[in-house]
Amino acid sequence: MALKGLDIFKLSPKKNCKECGCPTCMAFSMKVAQGAVDIAACPYFAPEALAKLSAATEPPMKTIKVGAGDAELSLGGETVLFRHEKTFVSRTRYAMSLCTCMDDETVAQKLEDIKKVDYERIGERMFVEMVYVNYSADGKQDYVELVKKAAETGRILILDCKDAEIAKAALEVCKDGKPILNGADASNYEAMNAVATAAGVVLGVSGADLSEIHDTVEKLEGLGNKNLVIDVTGADVKETFKNAVQIRKAAIKDGDRTFGYPSIVNLHKIAAGDLHKQAALLSLFTMKYGSVIVAEHIGYAEALPLYGLRQNLFTDPQKPMKVEPGIYPLNGADENSVCLTTVDFALTYFLVSGELERSGVPVNLIINDAGGLSVLTSWAAGKFSSSSIAKFFQEQDIEGKIKSRKLIIPGKVAVLKGELEAKMPGWEIIIAPNEAVQLVKFMKDFA
Ligand code: SF4
């Protein structure tokens, strides 16, 4: 059962030294009880107290690391069922599937397609992070070769393999990349556990139903393996959805730690060949509750809405979405191009930069540090004022980097014109229209 703050406080060092970032040991204890802070953040708990508390204060779902070096990713570690309760922690990751049943040309095309989706949105790289490698009944002898090809993409591999000998051979060529070996079930868990443990990789567990999966996970934990993910894929979409929701509920609401592992959803098993259905299911299982989702194809058409959804879902609702303040030259702008300034709220940035790009007029878009708030909110909060803009221009040495002295400001803060002219001598302040959609005509007329 989860511990209360007071139980933790009784065992705390009571030094009130603030080294953990909390003002008192009591505040720290309350946060640990809520799952907001790891008990290891205090260096002064006695080992006996730690031993007593660690298990009870662990998050209900384990965080599992996959991949190596720069490619390492965390899965799971979730503490709530709904994003608005607090925040979701580890982004859903996407995999494209390869199979020995595909001919060489298809495999080569798929490997190319995997590399095609790769772009940045609000400071986050959007790409297909994983490759799922499967073999057909008559393709076992080709599996290791296919795994080798998949490993060359540099993406994290998921090996769909229930044969311990084949798994061993496949891991020989890719274990350094820390893949997931997705192949343990009730019939083979001991052998697969030995292979995964020897290679130091995460083991995926599947079963005929949730009860069988529960038993197998318990047995693997009994063998000392807690480096697991659960493959929740059922016979069809309905069963898979039910499995994904039930294991998440059991882990988080009922405190059943046997189900406290990240999940894998295999769309190519429940919607084979139907790419439109898979595109819809990618979104569904991003929301409910796939840690890794495997699809047959993820191109730009699928990625753009999907990755946008994921980014919205996995950002902390208590922190505004921001872009990096600085100068963004658009349409080939140089030091002589006009400047336009606005705030660092991500939505504002995308609306304004999109319209400016549509205008085709070279312009230096200067994004102020306004705490991630919208134009009027940041103006009302004093974070987008004449003083803050002038200070930002000085700190960023805008005058040293740009020769133009024409600055366009948002129409909603037209009131700043006079103050800015006084605080930034030499600059001509121009008022933009109120709405971003009017910028195309405004910029064309201006040019
Ligand atoms: Fe108390 Fe430990 Fe935090 Fe210091 S670091 S205030 S001893 S909980």
Give the CATH number of the domain where residue 439 resides.
3.40.50.11600
C-alpha pair distances (Å), 356 with each of 28, 181, 326, 431 = 48, 48, 16, 15
pLDDT of residue 86: 82
pLDDT of residue 315: 85
Q: Which amino acid is at 177?
A: G
Q: How many Å separate Cα 122 from the centre of its chain?
A: 12
- Residues 117 and 240 occupy one common structural domain: yes
Provide the pairing of β-strand 263-266 with 292-295.
parallel
Distance (angstroms) between ligand 1 centre and the Cα of 9 equals 10
Confidence at residue 96, expressed as pLDDT on a 0 to 100 scale = 97
- Give the chain's residues under pLDDT 50: 1
41 & 125 share domain? no
Alpha-carbon distance 111 to 224, whole Å? 36
For the CA of 41, the closest atom of ligand 1 is 5
90 near 74, Cβ under 8 Å? yes
For atom 8 of ligand 1, the residue with the nearest CA is 25
Looking at the structure, tell me whether residues 284 and 172 fall in a common domain.
Answer: yes
Q: Hey, which residues does 76 pair with through a beta bridge?
A: 63
Q: What distance in angstroms lies between residue 213's CA and the mean position of ligand 1's atoms?
A: 40
The CATH code of the domain that includes 84 is 3.20.20.20
Q: Which two tokens stand for residue 184?
A: 């343990």
Report the pLDDT value the prediction gives residue 396, as an integer from 0 to 100.
94
339 vs 367: CA distance, rounded Å? 10
Q: Decide if 319 is inside a domain.
A: no
Query: Atom 7, ligand 1: which residue's CA is nearest?
Result: 15
Query: Residue 2 has what pLDDT?
Result: 60
C-alpha 45 to ligand 1 mean position (Å): 8
Ligand 1 near 119 CB (within 6 A): no
> Which atom of ligand 1 lies nearest, measured to the CA of 29?
8
Whether residue 291 is contained in a domain is answered as yes
CA gap 218, 197 in Å, rounded: 16
**Rounded alpha-carbon distances, angstroms, from residue 246 to 233, 237, 254, 257, 390:** 12, 14, 10, 13, 54
Please identify, among 285, 313, 341, the residue that sits at the C-terminal boundary of a domain: 313
One-letter-per-residue 3-state SS of 67-109: CCHHHCEEEECCCCCCHHHCCCCCCCEEEEEEECCCCHHHHHH
Angle (deg, nearest 10), helices 143-151 and 104-116: 20
H helix runs in 253-397, sequence order? 267-270, 275-287, 300-313, 346-359, 375-380, 386-395
Q: How far apart are CA 314 and CA 201, in angstroms?
A: 26
Decide: 44 in ligand 1 pocket, CB within 6 A: yes
Considering the domain architecture, whether residues 89 and 103 belong to the same structural domain is answered as yes
Condensed to tens digits (0 to 9), the pLDDT of residues 240-256 reads: 999 999 999 999 999 89
Residues 150 and 200 in one domain: yes
18 Cβ inside 6 Å of ligand 1:
yes
Considering the domain architecture, whether residues 95 and 120 belong to the same structural domain is answered as: yes
Do 304 and 235 lie in one domain? The reply is yes
Ligand 1 pocket check: which of 29, 44, 50 to mutate, most ligand atoms within 8 Å of Cβ? 44
Take residue 82 and report the two structure tokens written for it.
């709904």
User: How many residues comprise the chain?
Assistant: 447
Residues 51 and 84 both lie in one domain: no
For the chain, what is the domain count? Answer: 3
Q: Is residue 115 part of a domain?
A: yes
Our answer on whether the CB atom of 13 is closer than 6 Å to any ligand 1 atom is: yes
CA distance 442 to 433: 7
Give buried/exposed letters for 208-241 (b at 16+ CB in 10 A, else e).
Answer: eebeebbebbebbeeeebebbbbbbbbeebeebb
ipTM: 0.98
Question: What is the reported pLDDT for 51?
Answer: 82
Do 142 and 280 fall within a single domain? Answer: yes
Domain residues for 397? 326-446
Q: Are 302 and 277 in contact (CB under 8 A)?
A: no
Residue that is written with structure tokens 């997931």 in the block: 180
Q: Alpha-carbon distance 40 to 29, whole Å?
A: 12
Is the separation of the CB atoms in 90 and 63 below 8 Å? yes
Mapped to the 3 state alphabet, what secondary structure does 137-198 carry?
CCCHHHHHHHHHHHHCCCCEEEEECCCHHHHHHHHHHHHHHCCEEEEECCCCHHHHHHHHHH
What residues contact 206, with CB distance under 8 A and at least 6 apart?
182, 184, 185, 213, 230, 231, 233
The CATH number for 30's domain is: 1.10.15.40
